[in-house]
Amino acid sequence: MKKKLANTLKFLIFFSIGASLFWITYRDQNPSELLHTLKNDVNYYWILLSLFFGLLSHISRTIRWNLLIESLGKKPRTVNTFLAVMVGYFANLALPRMGEISRCGIISRYEKISFSQLVGTVVLERVLDIIMLIVFLLIALSTQFSVIANFFANNPEVSEKLSNVFASAYTLYALTTITLVIWLLRKQFKHTGLFKKIDKTLKSFMDGFRTIKKIENKWPFILHTVFIWVMYYLMTYICFFSFGFTSNLPALAGLTVFVMSAFGMVAPVQGGVGAWHFMVIGTLLVYLPGVNNIESMSRSFALVVHGAQTAMIIIVGALSVIALPFANRKELINNKAKA
């Protein structure tokens, strides 16, 4: 009961943050003007193509995760891994970061693999994603520095919040204190049941994290890592051709918009709602100053692109939830027979 209440409160808090950001971004938008743009000024062919690139990225992530899991000496079925990945994205729409836990739970249940080890592989994935985001950020900075500088100059609250996240004295103090307390008291708690359980879980987690050293097919793993992020980029850039006002922007502009939108997805809100829109709109305004009605058109762009991506996650994620029991029907029957 307490867990359900806590999850409900988390959902409401994160939803309120996202809804507030969304309202702030679109409060001055004329609804009839927006509807006119959606009906007459959008070439949805390019939106559908962007979703195809998105699906390719999810398939590639599935294969990459399988390569990590196989390094644990396990061979999960690709269909289960794909369905788990999509359910994970779907779960993130309810609670940020819930997807990582849910997809590990699914594979642990249907493939009988240690949950802690799976969490270790997912954390490793997230580290690799951060590295790739930094690589794309460095490319954008080296080629579009003035644009990014103008964005932060026009939105000082964004740079302030980012600096608070990465350089908060309170955060560093808390982490240092917790680490020091655990290290000082390790001998006192070493022989307790709780310590042994935590120690076992951490060892399993580290086994999952260290899978990168055991990967046999390192080049396919590296290529999938790069491919995933190239597809992410194309998901954004290809949508430029859906709107007349962005169709002539260069590929590097697409890169900058993509990088800034990625930071919006990091925000603690479901699916980046509000934060993603804010970052994309702000970046487009820097690229197209003085264009007539640019703010309204940028809002339309953000709404359509994010809405299409979210719709795909909802549809494929919901279908994956339904498909999981059918894909594992034999295993479920065998488990019931053994019980």
Phi, psi of 171 (to 5 degrees): -65, -45
Report pLDDT for 333. 61
* Pair 43, 242: CB distance under 8 Å: yes
Tokens 């970046």 sit at which residue?
Answer: 283
**Cα separation, 103 vs 116, whole angstroms:** 12
Report pLDDT for 295. 82
Report pLDDT for 167. 47
Reported for 159-168, long-range contacts at CB under 8 A and 24+ positions apart, including other chains, are 162/263
Report pLDDT for 168. 47
238-256 per-residue burial string, b: 16 or more CB within 10 A, e: under 16: bbbbbbebbeebeeebbbb
DSSP string, 69-92: HHTTT----HHHHHHHHHHHHHHH
| Model-wide pTM > 0.85 | no
User: In this structure, what token pair is assigned to residue 88?
Assistant: 């994970």
**Cα separation, 339 vs 277, whole angstroms:** 50
Q: What is the mean pLDDT of each run of 10 residues along the chain (339 residues)?
A: 54 53 60 74 93 97 94 90 94 81 92 87 86 91 82 64 48 56 57 55 57 77 95 96 92 93 76 81 83 82 91 93 89 59
Report pLDDT for 131. 87
**Cα separation, 301 vs 23, whole angstroms:** 16
